[in-house]
């Protein structure tokens, strides 16, 4: 079988086998593939070149995702699979991890800050979200141990979003349920409600029943 190539748009190089299109790769990587016009290859060599080209495309695709925002390893694998890189996804992600571009511990720290500052989630919900992202339990434990949770932030959330609901028992129960879905424990919620009540003549009596 005979290899030839031609330039495509941008930095793309299209490789042909016996005159038929076979794969596309970027110019920088093409320079490393030892392909020249009219090169003769057998089936094994051709399969190897095809595999290398797909791995490069998967890697470049993952780099593109990371250029827009950080991702966990699991997210990258899923997105690459969805793009059709089923055989090359793991290779690309491992390469990015070895190069330091994909780092689940760094991602977890960043994501925890986002969940606290933007979503206002409590500890339990944050742990669930990290697990959903495919973060290893050891990393979750490490990052959560480093993270401080301030009761004043919970009080601020309740005052801003739920204060109008605290005038009766039904509203209080709905507030507690909503906050527990956000990852706060019953004891955390009860303590915050008592702190909000302060010296007022009303008192938030809540139950975990």
Q: Tell me the three-class secondary structure of the chain, residue by residue.
A: CEEEEEECCCCEEEEEECCEEEEEEEHHHHCCCCCCCCEECCHHHHHHHHHHHHHHHHHHHHHHHHHHCCCCHHHHHHHHHHCCCCCCHHHHHHHHHHCCCCCHHHHHHHHHHHHHHHHCCCHHHHHHHHHHCCCCHHHHHHHHHHCCCCHHHHHHHHHHHCHHHCCCHHHHHHHHHHHHHCCCCHHHHHHHHHHHHCCCCCCCCCCCC
**Higher confidence at residue 24 or residue 79?**
79
Whether 115 and 181 map to the same domain: the answer is: no
* Reported confidence tier of residue 201, pLDDT bands at 50, 70, 90: very low
Global pTM value: 0.80
Nearest C-alpha neighbor of 64 from the set 47, 83, 44, 40: 83
Whether 71 and 21 map to the same domain: the answer is: yes
Whether 87 and 6 map to the same domain: the answer is: yes
| pLDDT at res. 203 | 46
Q: Please check whether residue 147 is in contact with residue 105, taking contact to mean a CB–CB distance below 8 angstroms.
A: no
CATH code, domain with 13: 1.10.10.10
* Reported confidence tier of residue 33, pLDDT bands at 50, 70, 90: confident
Identify the domain containing residue 157 by its residue range: 151-197
Max Cα–Cα distance, the chain, nearest Å: 90
Whether 108 and 32 map to the same domain: the answer is: no
Whether 25 and 60 map to the same domain: the answer is: yes
Whether 94 and 6 map to the same domain: the answer is: yes
Residue 42 in domain:
yes
Residue 208 in domain:
no
Residue 32 in domain:
yes
Percent of the chain with pLDDT over 70: 95
Domain count for the chain, please give it. Answer: 3
């Amino acid at each position: 079988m005979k290899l030839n190539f031609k330039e495509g748009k941008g930095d793309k190089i299209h490789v042909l086998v016996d005159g038929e299109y076979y794969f596309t790769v970027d110019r920088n990587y093409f320079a490393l593939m030892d392909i020249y016009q009219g090169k003769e290859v057998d089936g094994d060599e051709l399969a190897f070149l095809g595999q290398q080209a797909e791995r490069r495309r998967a890697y470049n695709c993952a780099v593109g995702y990371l250029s827009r925002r950080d991702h966990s390893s699991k997210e990258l694998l899923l997105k690459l699979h969805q793009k059709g890189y089923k055989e090359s996804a793991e290779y690309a992600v491992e390469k990015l991890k070895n190069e330091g571009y994909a780092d689940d511990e760094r991602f977890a720290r960043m994501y925890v800050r986002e969940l606290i500052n933007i979503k206002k989630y409590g500890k339990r919900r944050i742990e669930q979200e990290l697990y959903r992202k495919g973060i290893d339990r050891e990393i979750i434990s490490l990052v959560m141990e480093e993270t401080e949770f301030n009761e004043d932030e919970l009080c601020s959330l309740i005052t801003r979003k739920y204060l109008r609901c605290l005038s009766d028992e039904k509203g209080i129960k709905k507030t507690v349920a909503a906050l527990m879905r956000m990852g706060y424990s019953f004891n955390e919620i009860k303590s915050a409600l008592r702190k909000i009540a302060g010296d007022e003549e009303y008192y938030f009596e809540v139950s975990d029943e």
